[in-house]
Amino acid sequence: MIFHLSMFEWRRVLKSPALFLFTLVFPILILLVVGMFFYETVQEDLEQVELMVIDEDQTFETNTLIQQLENDETIGEQVIFHRGDRSLSEYLDESIDYAAVVRIPKGFTEQLQNGQNEEIEVYLNNQIPFSSQLAYLLLHSGQGYITAAQSGVNTVNHFWGSELPSDERRDLVEQMTVHFSFLTLGRNSLFLESDLSSVDILSWDKQLYVTGFVLLYILTLIFFAFLFRPKEWSLINQRLYLIDVTLWKRALGRFLHLISFSFVYLLITAVTGALLLFDVNSLMLTIQWTLLATIICLLMVILETVIRTPALSLFLFSLTSLTVLTISGLIIPRVYLPDWMTVDAWYPIQSLYFSFYQIINEQTWPIGFWGILWLLLLFMLFILWLMSRRGDHV
């Protein structure tokens, strides 16, 4: 009976080949248009990230820090540093040209040498959001390195410098400030892909592959469910009820229909795309995409079972699925998610991301993560069975 219900759905789909082709092509066009618009916007915004630095302290140490940032190979091609010689208010009035205005206050070096970190004022330009956010990430990163330099200076001063006369101690602290600043700001190797992979983060091209095909699959599934849901769906359900087809069997038939479509679609698009782009095991990747599709299809069937209004259930499915995939890290990289999205409570969902990482980056079988996903699938099946036990209302 479950197989016949699925075949009944497929016969309806194949009766409209033009609509089926539209379902497959239209999401691709949407992603291409949105992607091109986003790319053009970001490229134009990030062509030149300009930072205005107002150094009111004008010491050898602050000059050294600014020069080190200007000569840093990792940001030298994208970021341009300007030295300001006017007051802060004048630059804020014309800050539309700069991603950020940075003010180093007078006495900054002296406070640093005394073990106190004077705050550096940073003004971000919200009119160019991408550039300003890049400037924020750069400065936020630099804050950690400068703090590390200060820790080194304080350590040397505490265990050795305190025993020296005041003049020699001052000279020593100045030398150590420059020395540790050069060490901590000379950070080019930290941006190598091999180091990034050690913290379980996909590289940008692999993240783009996962994000792109996940969004393409979700959009296609939404269009597929929306366009091929007949207007007389409630009448069909009444007839199925009269011939003793239970809600559980109807839900499983619907699931079989959706998962068969998803399997073929992802095998042709996502798995083939990965084989063309990366050196990856096709069997492992096929199983991974099938597990992802199974979770998504079960979620859709559960919502359709609970909410009998097709438009409302599809709307809630769109919100829920995108939220779940965002929390998992498949749409937005995990490092950019807020803290509440990366807590241990979401670990079963985040297993989707970790298993993709292990397959694509490490070329090993993610048996442990798959075990967690299977437990999640069994839990969802139990929820579906529980919801279908409430009976039919005709």
What is the full per-residue pLDDT of the chain (394 aa) written as tens digits? 667 667 777 887 888 888 889 889 999 999 888 888 776 766 655 556 778 888 888 887 677 777 766 766 555 566 778 888 777 777 776 656 677 888 888 887 777 666 666 677 778 776 666 677 667 766 665 555 555 555 555 565 555 555 556 666 656 655 665 555 555 544 443 333 333 333 467 877 888 899 999 999 999 999 998 888 765 556 666 665 655 567 778 888 889 999 999 999 999 999 998 888 888 899 999 999 999 999 999 999 999 888 878 889 899 999 999 999 999 989 987 777 787 887 888 889 999 999 999 999 888 999 999 999 999 999 999 999 888 776 554 4
Token pair listed for 189: 């190797």
For the chain, first and last CA: distance in Å?
20
- The two tokens of residue 301 are 């069937």
One-letter amino acid at 239 equals R
Q: Are 271 and 285 in contact (CB under 8 A)?
A: yes
Strand partners, 51: 81, 100
Q: Do 177 and 148 contact (CB within 8 A), yes or no?
A: no
**What's the helix, strand, coil split of the chain in %, to 5?**
75, 5, 20
Q: Contact 288/359 with Cβ under 8 angstroms?
A: yes
Greatest CA separation for the chain: 98
As to burial, measured by CB atoms within 10 angstroms (0-12 exposed, 13-18 middle, 19+ buried), residue 302 is buried
CA distances from residue 167 to 61, 163, 266, 273 in whole angstroms, order as listed: 17, 12, 71, 66
